[in-house]
Amino acid sequence: MLRSALTESLPVALEAQVCVVGGGPAGIVTALELARLGVAVVLIEAGGKDGPGAGETSYAGSSAGRPYPVQGSRLRWLGGTSNHWGGWVRPLDPTDFLDKPALELPAWPIRHADLQPWYELADSWCEVATQGYEFGQLGLEGTGRVFDLAAGKDFQNGFFRVSPPTRFGQRYRSEIAESSALDCWTDLTVVEMIQSADRVRQLRAVSTDGAETRIRADHFVLAMGGLEVPRLLLAQSEVPGNQSGLVGACFMDHFGIRPGRLLAAGGLMYRMFDWDGQTIIPMLRPAAQLLAGEALPNACIMLAATRPEPSLPPVYWSNQAISGLEEGEAMTYDVVFINEPVPDPRSRITLVDERDSFGLPRLQLHWQLPADSFQPALKLVDRFRHFVGQEAIGRFQWLQRAGLPEDQTPGIGYHHMGTTRMSATPDAGVTDPNCRIWDRENLYVASSSLFPTAGYANPTLTICALASRLARHLADKFEQQS
Ligand SMILES: Cc1cc2nc3c(=O)[nH]c(=O)nc-3n(C[C@H](O)[C@H](O)[C@H](O)COP(=O)(O)OP(=O)(O)OC[C@H]3O[C@@H](n4cnc5c(N)ncnc54)[C@H](O)[C@@H]3O)c2cc1C
C-alpha cells in the first residue's frame, strides 16, 4: 500500500514487524526485500510521492570547515536522492575493507566476500548487468580505447557500470503500492524515538499539516541518508550508539582533483560509452600492491579528451614524444582523480539550537579536509606520472601540485559516509557487523553512514547490498522465532 499522510486519514498508531524510516534506495530495498520475504513492514517517508512537499526546508543546515552543500546534496521525496543520482555503480575493492597503516580507526569488520552475494542482488536493484566487474570480460584490450596493461603493473584498468539511472521511487512504485506486506506512508516525518534502556519502543512521526502518529514494531531500521540518520540519533535525549562519541563523526565524501594533463594516444575512452549492449565507464586504478607498499589511499582516474583528433602535440610536449606515436596521433586529456577520503573523527555532524518546522534541531557539518590532506592523493598522482612515462604510454604535465585552499569546495560525489560507522567492537563504531546499533536490541541502520572506510567507488551499490543483507538478517530472526 502507498498512502500520503496529507490526503488520507492518519491512524493514531501504526504497527508492523519492522518499521523502516526513509524511502530512498536504502529504505526501499530494505522494505521490499522484507516484504518479498513475507515480513510485515511499515515504510515512513518524509517527502511526497512525486516531490519534496512542504517539509523540504528541514534539510537546510550549515557547514563549517571546508564548505559543503548540505541541502543541495540530497532530496527529500519518495526515492530520496536517487531522484537525481548519476547512476555510476561499482562495488568497493576487496582491499577497501582492510585495515591500513594510515587509518586512525579500524576499517570494516566484514570482508568483500561477505557482501559478494548481496552485490549481485544490488546489481539487479540498480538495473545493471549482473556479470561482475572484472575488466577482462569486456574485451576492450587491443581495441585502442584503453591502455593495454599487463597483469601485475602498478596501474590497472577498471570500470563502472551505469544504472539507467534507476529512480527508486518511480521504478518500484507499483510494487510498493501493490504489496500486501508493505504499508508505505509518505509526507510523514519521524521526529522522536521513544526508548527504554536497550530498546526502541515507538517512533513519533508528524505530517506537515500537524497530524501525528506513533509507530510500533519489533525492529526499526533508520534509512534516512548519511546526514539525517545521525541527526535523528543526536536529537534524542539518550543518543543510541554513542558510547564512543562516534555518532555523527568521521563524515567522508569522495573528493576529486584535476592535477594535470596527459599526452597519450588519441582515441582513449576513459569515459561513459555503450559497449556490447552495456553502458560502462572505463577508468584506471592503482594496483593493490602499489597502495599497500606505499600506504597510499585508493583512487580512480578518468581521462577527458581536451583536443580534437587528429591534433599535433602542443609545443611544450615536443621534446618528450611518446615512443610509437606518430605526429597527429596524439591527444591531450584532462586527468581527474576521484579519491578515497580518510575517516577523521573531527569531520562531524553536530546539532545547532535552531529548529526546523517539525521541531528537529538543524545540523551543522564540519567537513575536515585541510589542504595538506590532499598530499597522499598528490603522491599517488606522482606515481601515475612516473608510470605512464616508464611504460611509454603517455607524458604527464602537472598543473596543480598543491592541495585546494580550505575555503574552496573540490569536486565532490555528494556521498555522505561514515557517520554511524560499522565496527567489530563498540569502542570503534556505532553499529555491529549486522548493522545493529551497539546498545539497542532492535535498532538498525541502512545507509552509507555505515561505511567505516569509503574506497573510491560511488556508494549506492554497496548501500543496496547492505540493505538486502540486513533484510535477510531480520527475516531470519522472525523465522527463528516461529
Ligand atoms: C547529484 C548527485 C549524483 C549522485 N550520483 C551518484 C552516482 O552516480 N552513483 C552513486 O552510487 N551515488 C550517487 N549519488 C549518491 C546517491 O544518491 C546516494 O548514495 C543514495 O541516494 C543514498 O540512498 P539513501 O536511501 O541512503 O538516502 P537518500 O537517497 O538520501 O534517501 C533518504 C530518504 O529518507 C527520507 N527521510 C529523511 N529524513 C526522514 C525522517 N526524519 N523521516 C522519514 N523520512 C525521512 C528522505 O525524504 C529520503 O527520501 C549521487 C548524489 C547526488 C546528489
**How much is the pTM?**
0.97
Same domain, 420 and 282: no
Q: Is residue 16 domain-resident?
A: yes
- Asked if the structure places residue 410 within a domain, the reply is no
Nearest of 378, 382, 159, 191 to residue 281 by alpha carbon: 159
Residues 86 and 155 in one domain: no
- 278 and 333 share one domain: yes
* Top mutation candidate among 85, 88, 417, 468 for ligand 1, by most atoms within 8 Å of CB: 85
CA–centroid distance, residue 86 to ligand 1 (Å)? 12
* Residue 274 to residue 162: CA distance in whole angstroms: 10
Separation of CA 418 and ligand 1 centre (Å): 14
Residues 357 and 376 occupy one common structural domain: no
The number of the ligand 1 atom at minimal distance from the alpha carbon of 232 is 41
pLDDT value at position 332? 86
At residue 182's C-alpha, the angle toward residues 177 and 183, to 5°, is 80
445 beta partners: 222
What is the residue range of 386's domain? 133-162+255-339+370-405
User: For residue 469, how many C-alpha atoms fall within 13 Å in the half-sphere facing its CB?
Assistant: 23
What average pLDDT does this structure show over 436-444?
98
Return the ligand 1 atom nearest residue 188 CA.
43
One domain for residues 23 and 146: no
Pocket test for ligand 1, best of 224, 283, 462, 464 (most atoms within 8 A of CB): 224
- CA 22 / ligand 1 centre spacing (Å): 9
Distance separating alpha carbons of residues 180 and 177, to the nearest angstrom: 8
Query: Long-range contacts made by residues 403-409, C-beta under 8 angstroms, separation at least 24?
Result: 403/370, 403/371, 403/372, 403/373, 403/374, 403/375, 403/378, 404/257, 404/371, 404/374, 405/371, 406/65, 406/66, 406/369, 406/370, 406/371, 407/66, 407/67, 408/66, 408/67, 409/66, 409/67, 409/68, 409/69
Residue 440 pLDDT > 60 = yes
Compute the mean pLDDT over every residue in the chain, rounded to the nearest whole number.
94
Residue 36 located in a structural domain: yes
> From CA 99, how far away is CA 268, in angstroms rounded?
34
Instruction: State how far the Cα of 424 lies from the Cα of 9, in Å rounded to an integer.
Output: 44
Ligand 1 centroid vs 435 CA: distance in angstroms? 18
180 Cβ neighbours under 8 A, 6+ residues apart: 1
122 in any annotated domain? yes
Asked if 10 and 63 sit in the same domain, the reply is yes
- Of the ranges 177-191, 260-274, 432-446, which one carries the lowest mean pLDDT score? 260-274
Q: Is 211 inside a domain boundary?
A: yes
Is the alpha carbon torsion for 45, 468, 347, 378 positive or negative? negative
Residue 310: band (very low, low, confident or very high) from pLDDT cuts 50, 70, 90: very low
Claim to verify: residue 280 and residue 428 sit in the same structural domain: no
Prior bond of 240 cis (ω within 30°): no
Ligand 1 centre distance from Cα of residue 118 (Å)? 19
Q: How far apart are CA 105 and CA 279, in angstroms?
A: 37
189 and 271: one domain? Answer: no
447 belongs to a structural domain: yes
CA dihedral 346, 298, 456, 331 (to 10 degrees): 130
110 located within any domain: yes
Instruction: Decide if 360 is inside a domain.
Output: yes
Q: With bands split at pLDDT 50, 70 and 90, how would you rate the model's confidence at 392?
A: confident
339-373 pLDDT tens trace:
999 999 999 999 999 999 999 999 999 999 999 99
Q: Please work out whether the CB of residue 225 comes within 6 Å of at least one atom of ligand 1.
A: yes
Q: Are residues 124 and 171 in the same domain?
A: yes
Give the pLDDT score at 302: 97
The amino acid present at 240, given as its one-letter code, is: P
Q: What's the average model confidence in pLDDT over 72-97?
A: 96
> Please, which pLDDT band fits residue 324 given cuts at 50, 70 and 90?
low
- pLDDT at position 308: 52
Instruction: Tell me the pLDDT tens digit for each residue of 87-144.
Output: 999 999 999 999 988 889 999 999 999 999 999 999 999 999 988 999 999 999 999 9
Is the domain of 187 the same as that of 265?
no
Computed over its alpha carbons, how large is the radius of gyration of the chain?
23
- Whether residues 239 and 387 share a domain: the answer is no
CATH number for the domain harbouring residue 224: 3.50.50.60
Same-domain pairing of 354 and 394:
no
Count how many domains the chain has. Answer: 2
Assigned C-alpha cell, 295: 600506504
